Amino acid sequence: MRNAYRQFVDLMSVRLLQVGDVTTVVAGVATVALPGGGLLQARGDAQVGSRVFVRHGVIKEIAPSLLFVEGEA
């Protein structure tokens, strides 16, 4: 049986898939602008201006360029 603490840590380490627009690329590291205004750096191949999916600091794939709409609940 696994340690209860280890099971808890495994639950907390789920990484979300984020989407953003590539603003710069230097030596295989892209700066990605998120829709909420944040920036993050991710490894992978992407062109400046493209929209990408990022998980845990790695560009997973090119994302479709759809319109982002934010609503209030």
Spans of all domains in the chain: 15-62
Average pLDDT over residues 58-73: 85
pTM beyond cutoff 0.75: no
Q: What is the pLDDT of residues 9-43, one digit of tens each?
A: 777 767 789 999 999 999 999 999 999 899 999 99
With H, G, I as helix, E, B as strand and everything else as coil, classify residue 12: helix
Provide the β-strand partners of residue 39.
33
Average pLDDT over residues 40-57: 95
Strands (DSSP E) along the chain, which ranges? 18-26, 29-33, 39-43, 51-55, 58-62
Q: Which fold has domain 15-62?
A: SH3 type barrels. (2.30.30)
With 80 as the cut, is the pLDDT of residue 48 above it?
A: yes
